[in-house]
């Protein structure tokens, strides 16, 4: 079984990649990774240099992994900048590092795609050996697996000494027939507050529109990029990680897996919106932006419209993105997320391992406390 590292997603045939990816998790589709690279969100000069790992046996593709050589920690949502500063204080380089992740996308999912006929007992050791060898070859400080799905956890736990926990808040569809049916499992106080929030948006003359597939036009994407860029500029002073060309590339290749929620005012002008991707069972909330502040609009566009979409489509889960305790009283439940870290330097490997052990206990306590704040009626 032979490993190869590709410095561009274009180095592998899209059909070969998609034969392993299928129609599940959208962020590992060849089209999504190609859109990032061809619109200069990743690649030379971005700090996200592709190093995608593939395993072949007798000319047959056995497994693929999205992999990057990183020269910073932006866009990962597993915050290790303090580790980088500690390295620097000791005269050591933390960057570059090897990272298996989806750029700018803290959505748990597969980090290894495997051929259905491949033998996992053979593939996993070869993947891990290839990662370790490439880490030494590139001079990286270590390798990192960010937000792998639960099915992969045993394999990474056996290979990487540093296991980190995080906490997100996801919504679960328990066979609800309507939004009101979902509200029916909540306390009376929370039902009233959510209905008030939704009515507040209507009272300000705002109309919400859900678009997907061929309902979307290039104009919609131009509008959405304005919202996205404006929000990043106000909050962070830069235009955001993604270019306008990226959104238009998504329109051409992945609009059938996209939900766009647009907010229109009384003059029918689009003033804000949210962008989600979806698989056969999960909605992933990704990007949000607005041209002006409207009370409760963020909750409506980013949360309530997504819940309604899940109920209509029979999707079982809504992952709205990282962080956000405001999601708890709106019915989003705490979910533990994972990352794995294999540092080359023995001293830092031990120090980080001790820190992560303490942090895991704190994150578990936090998740348990958050679960106790959920607004559902008992029984």
- Strands 142-146 and 162-172, bridge-based pairing: unpaired
Q: What are the pLDDT digits (tens) for 116-172?
A: 999 999 999 999 999 999 999 999 999 999 999 999 999 999 899 899 999 999 999
Contacts of 229 (CB under 8 A, 6+ apart): 239, 240, 244, 289
Retrieve residue 213's tokens.
């597939």
Cis peptide before 332 (omega within 30 of 0): no
pLDDT of residue 234: 87
Distances (CA, A) of 188 to 135, 176, 177, 185, 379: 55, 18, 19, 9, 14
Q: Are domains 2-167+335-371 and 174-315 of this chain identical in fold?
A: yes
250-257 contacts: CB < 8 A, separation 24 or more? 250/32, 250/35, 250/221, 251/216, 251/218, 251/220, 251/221, 253/31, 253/34, 253/35, 254/26, 254/29, 254/31, 254/32, 254/35, 255/212, 255/213, 255/214, 255/216, 256/212, 256/213, 257/26, 257/29
Phi, psi of 132 (to 5 degrees): -65, -45
pLDDT of residue 379: 64
Q: Average pLDDT over the chain, rounded to whole? A: 96
Three-state DSSP at 309 gives helix
**Residue closest to 144 by CA, chosen among 47, 62, 79:** 79
Asked if residue 61 lies in contact with residue 16, where contact means CB atoms within 8 angstroms, the answer is: yes
* Residue 91 DSSP code: T
Asked if residue 113 lies in contact with residue 26, where contact means CB atoms within 8 angstroms, the answer is: no
Domain boundaries in the chain? 2-167+335-371, 174-315
Contacts of 291 (CB under 8 A, 6+ apart): 226, 227, 230, 271, 272
- Give the gyration radius of the chain's Cα atoms: 21
Pick the CATH number of 2-167+335-371 from 3.20.20.60, 3.30.470.10, 3.40.630.30, 2.60.120.560: 3.40.630.30
Question: What's the first-to-final CA gap in the chain, in angstroms?
Answer: 54
Edge-to-edge, what's the strand order for the sheet holding 52-57? 2-6, 52-57, 60-65, 113-114
* pTM for this predicted structure: 0.96
Residues of the chain with pLDDT under 50: none
What is the dihedral sign for C-alpha 195, 201, 205, 208? Answer: negative
pLDDT of residue 236: 83
For 174-315, CATH gives 3.40.630.30
**Percentage of residues of the chain with pLDDT beyond 70:** 100
DSSP result, 184-198: TTB-HHHHHHHHHHH
Distance CA 270, CA 208 (A): 10
Distance CA 40, CA 250 (A): 14
């Amino acid at each position: 079984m032979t490993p190869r590292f590709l410095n561009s997603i274009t180095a592998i045939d899209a059909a070969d990649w998609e034969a392993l990816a299928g129609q599940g998790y959208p962020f590992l589709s060849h089209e999504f990774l190609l859109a990032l690279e061809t619109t200069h969100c990743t690649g030379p000069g971005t700090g996200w240099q592709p190093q995608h790992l593939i395993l072949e046996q007798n000319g047959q593709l056995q497994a693929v992994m999205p992999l990057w050589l990183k020269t910073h920690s932006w866009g990962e949502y597993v915050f290790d900048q303090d580790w980088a500063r500690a390295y620097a204080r000791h005269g050591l380089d933390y960057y570059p590092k090897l990272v298996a992740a989806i750029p700018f996308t803290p959505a748990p999912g597969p980090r290894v795609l495997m051929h259905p006929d491949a033998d996992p007992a053979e593939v996993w050791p070869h993947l891990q050996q290839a990662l370790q060898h490439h880490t030494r070859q590139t001079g990286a400080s270590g390798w990192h697996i960010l937000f792998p799905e639960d099915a992969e956890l045993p394999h990474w736990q056996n290979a990487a000494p540093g296991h980190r926990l995080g906490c997100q808040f996801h919504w679960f569809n328990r066979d609800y027939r309507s939004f009101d049916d979902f509200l029916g499992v909540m306390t009376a106080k929370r039902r009233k507050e959510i209905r008030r929030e939704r009515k507040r948006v209507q009272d300000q003359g705002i109309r919400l529109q859900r678009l997907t597939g061929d309902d979307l036009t290039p104009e919609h994407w131009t509008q959405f990029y304005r919202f996205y860029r404006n929000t990043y500029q106000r909050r962070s002073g830069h235009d955001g990680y993604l270019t306008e060309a990226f959104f238009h590339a998504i329109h051409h290749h992945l609009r059938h897996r996209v939900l766009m929620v647009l907010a229109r005012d009384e003059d029918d002008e689009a003033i804000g919106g949210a962008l989600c991707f979806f698989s056969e069972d999960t909605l992933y909330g990704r990007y949000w932006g607005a041209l002006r502040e409207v009370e409760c609009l963020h909750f409506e566009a980013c949360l309530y419209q997504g819940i309604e979409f899940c109920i209509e489509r029979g999707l079982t889960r809504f992952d709205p993105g990282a962080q956000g305790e405001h999601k708890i009283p709106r019915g989003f439940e705490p979910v533990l997320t994972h990352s794995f870290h294999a540092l080359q330097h023995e001293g830092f490997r031990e120090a980080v391992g001790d820190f992560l052990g303490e942090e895991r206990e704190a994150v578990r306590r936090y998740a348990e406390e958050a679960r106790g704040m959920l607004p559902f009626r008992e029984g």
